Amino acid sequence: MRYVAAYLLSVLGGNESPSAADIKKILSSVGIDAEDDKLKKVISELSGKNIQELIAEGSPTFCIRDVMKFEFQNI
């Protein structure tokens, strides 16, 4: 999740296509050493895709999952 978060922070900052170095810089700023295999996976999955569209597509899923998780934890 931290790799995706760093990727999203970079996109939010105006970098439409973050590199591994960009993500490593963000992660290292908070004391996290990036693992190259995980970093490559995130970049390969997100590269060339419109992040805003991906978030919009996934938003209903997140909302439903979070509500169900909340409901089951409070039973």
Q: What amino acid is encoded at 20 in this protein?
A: A
What pLDDT is recorded for position 33?
A: 95
Q: What amino acid is encoded at 53 in this protein?
A: E
Q: What is the pLDDT of residues 30-68, one digit of tens each?
A: 999 999 999 999 999 998 888 888 888 876 665 655 555
What pLDDT is recorded for position 74?
A: 47
Angstrom distance (rounded) from CA 23 to CA 2: 10
CATH topology of domain 2-73: Arc Repressor Mutant, subunit A (1.10.10)
Domain residue ranges of the chain, discontinuous segments joined by +: 2-73
Is it the case that residue 24 has pLDDT exceeding 90? yes
What pLDDT is recorded for position 35?
A: 94
What pLDDT is recorded for position 62?
A: 59
